[in-house]
Amino acid sequence: MTLRDLRLPLTLLAAALMAGCSHDDAPAAPSTAASPAYAAIARGRIDIEGGLLKLTMPAEGVVAQVDVHEGEHVHKGQLLAQLELEPAKLALDTAVAEQQQATAQIGAREVRARSAALRASRLEQAAKAGAGDVQSADDAREAAQQAQVELNNARATAALAAQKVAGARYQLQLRSLHAPVDGQIVQRMVQPGASVSPATGSVFVMLPDAPRIVRAELNESFVGVVHDGMAAEVDDDGGSDLPPMKAHVLRIGNVFGASTLEDDPQVRANTRSVECILTLDQPPSAPLRIGQRVLVKFAPK
């Protein structure tokens, strides 16, 4: 067998080996890509609808007593603090005395008006019958009219006095500050003896007993993905052992704004987000603090 005759089988063998190696090294066909676990992720914080209540004294004066402490739970209508009451009590007593005097005047004016009206009626009948003069009847009628005017004025004075009594009672009520709702006193900024007024600012900060909500900052790239009623998972963003909480989207804002929860100032200044409000499906297993940072994971469609 010549060398030329041996080349053909070697060439075929080499081709077969290369084909085998090429088949073994070929990459596998790409598999279907896994769907993302969440449709969107956003930072958020725990809050309540309307926020914390900042309570101010409704009137000006000197604080006489403070009946609550920070951290104390209070009920609606409970007395929180009170101003000195003596000035308002004196004003109320004066108004009540004026009302009593005005009311007494009404009684006297009513008797006079009835008597004058009766006398005028009798003299008018006598003048018509020829038993009296017309001038006396006219004078009696004018006296009766004047008595009625005085009675009306007395009634108006009594009504005004009643309004003053109501105003004095209202001013007395303004000397006391009561809890508007059930909740917890978060901060107290007043002591007995301090001079306060509505313009001096808050004297208490109160956390109402209201359901917690989540205020999330939804990046503008996710605005078209998230919708009302969408399910979500809320995780603590502070590294605690708080278990994930189920929630759903309550509403999405219509105004873009700068991010407030981003730690990096440069990113915060350049990021536009929309506020997204979520409500928890069940009460949390552990207390949630207002302002607590969370991570919101929106479930895919």
Mean of the per-residue pLDDT values of the chain = 85
Task: Return the higher-pLDDT residue of 4 and 70.
Answer: 70
Per-residue pLDDT at 8: 36
Per-residue pLDDT at 36: 62
Q: CATH 2.40.30.170: does it fit domain 40-50+209-298?
A: yes
User: What would the two tokens of residue 85 be?
Assistant: 């009451």
Span 57-83+175-201 CATH architecture? Beta Barrel (2.40)
Q: Does pLDDT of 218 surpass 70? A: yes
- What percent of the chain stands above pLDDT 70? 87
Q: Does pLDDT of 2 surpass 80? A: no
pTM of this prediction? 0.70
When computed from its CA atoms, the radius of gyration of the chain, rounded to whole angstroms, is 43
User: Rounded to the nearest 10 degrees, how much is the dihedral formed by the CA atoms of 224, 230, 231, 233?
Assistant: 40
Per-residue pLDDT at 5: 45
CA nearest to 237, candidates 49, 45, 51:
45
CA nearest to 230, candidates 2, 39, 8:
39
d(CA 132, CA 116): 17
d(CA 224, CA 40): 10
Beta strand 183-188 with 204-208 is: antiparallel
> What's the Cα-to-Cα distance from 263 to each of 78, 80, 208, 271, 293, rounded to whole Å?
41, 38, 29, 12, 12
Q: Per residue in 268-282, pLDDT tens?
A: 677 889 999 999 999
| String of DSSP letters for the chain | --HHHHHHHHHHHHHHHHHHHHHHHSPPPPPPPPPPS-SEEEEEEEEETT--EEE--SS-EEEEEE---TT-EE-TT-EEEEE--HHHHHHHHHHHHHHHHHHHHHHHHHHHHHHHHHHHHHHHHHHHHTSS-HHHHHHHHHHHHHHHHHHHHHHHHHHHHHHHHHHHHHHHHTTEEE-SSSEEEEEE---TT-EE-GGG--SEEEEES--EEEEEEEEGGGTTT--TT-EEEEEESSS--PPPEEEEEEEEEEEEEE-SS-SSHHHHHH-EEEEEEEEESS--SS---TT-EEEEEEPP-
Q: Per residue in 18-61, pLDDT tens?
A: 444 444 443 433 333 334 688 999 999 999 998 999 999 999 99
Per-residue pLDDT at 159: 95
